[in-house]
Amino acid sequence: MKLIAGLGNIGVKLVNSRHNIGFMVANELVRRWEATWRPERLAFYSEAYKYGDKILIIKPTTYMNLSGQAVAHYAGYFGIMPENIAVIQDDMDLPGGKLRIKKKGSSGGHNGIKSIIAELGASDFSRFKIGIGHPINREDAVLRHVLSGFEQQEVPLINAALQKTADAVECWLIEGIEQAMNKFNGVEERTDVPMLPEMPAKERQTT
């Protein structure tokens, strides 16, 4: 059994924010597998039987900084070991749309990952990190940056990154983390894909 956790924040205003790119990939996987979401304890929950395994997909409803509560709950309830968990996250230290897959490691300053490590008591879960770019002024713009929407010129690159990350997660399920890293780390981003719908202005505002 495998557990996939796409990280993000709930709320209409944040649905298309940079911090929610993990939610976006989780949505794409559920769409591909013709599964459905339902509200459950601490998360939106979906499941599918693919590649010989039962696969659980969650979008924590705890907000980003407490993501570990949801991941640890489902991992504990179903007896899923950390090496069978994949977490999809945003990363400010990567260029927009860049995918980097890691087998394990520290939080890298990401509060969602920090929470998961603390709640699981382990750091050997796979991470699928998608670049969201870096704010120009780190001191006063980090929160505004991660909670803001993507600019229109970024959308084709981000849309391609969503598809590529979903492909990489499927590779992890079928072939394992090493093959996913070998095949997808360093792959050039494509932009010749359909653009995402433009976000309503009200959803691009931050609070």
Q: Which residues are known catalytic residues? A: 19
Tokens of 183: 């095949």
- Provide the strand spans (E) within 43-141: 43-50, 53-60, 85-91, 99-102, 126-131
How many whole angstroms separate alpha carbon 115 and alpha carbon 168?
Answer: 24
* Helical (H) or strand (E) element with 165: helix 155-175
Q: Which of 19, 11, 13, 1 is nearest to 129 (CA)?
A: 19
How many whole angstroms separate alpha carbon 118 and alpha carbon 67?
Answer: 10
